């Protein structure tokens, strides 16, 4: 297999792993947030804000991984 093929493979696998990690992270974040907002609807706004911040941080890390994958796909 030629090296560029390996790079593509790495990019694809990496992208998948990134999606997996981010999905897990945001899932773990969003589930309790939903529960919390269901339990305390009056705190909805604060929960949403802090959830968005945390989701953004997780997503930020995921995006770094994604960028590495894109760079790999650059060849």
Answer yes or no whether residue 49 interacts with another protein by CB under 8 A: yes
Cα-only R_g, the chain: 17
- What distance in Å separates the CA atoms of residue 73 and residue 9, rounded to the nearest whole number? 9
Give φ, ψ of 74 to 5 degrees: -60, -30
Q: Which of 30, 35, 40, 43 lies at the binding interface for another protein (CB under 8 A)?
A: 30
List interacting residues with another protein (CB under 8 A).
Answer: 8, 11-12, 15-16, 18-19, 22-23, 26-27, 30, 34, 37, 44-45, 48-49, 51-53, 55-56, 59-60, 62-64, 66-67, 69-70, 73-75
């Amino acid at each position: 297999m030629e090296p560029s093929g390996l790079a593509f493979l790495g990019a694809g696998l990496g992208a998948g792993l990134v999606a997996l990690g981010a999905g897990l992270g945001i899932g773990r974040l969003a589930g309790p947030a939903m529960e919390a907002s269901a339990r305390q609807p009056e705190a909805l706004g604060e929960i949403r804000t802090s959830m968005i911040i945390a989701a953004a941080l997780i997503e930020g890390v995921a995006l770094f991984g994604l960028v590495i994958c894109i760079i790999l796909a650059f060849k």
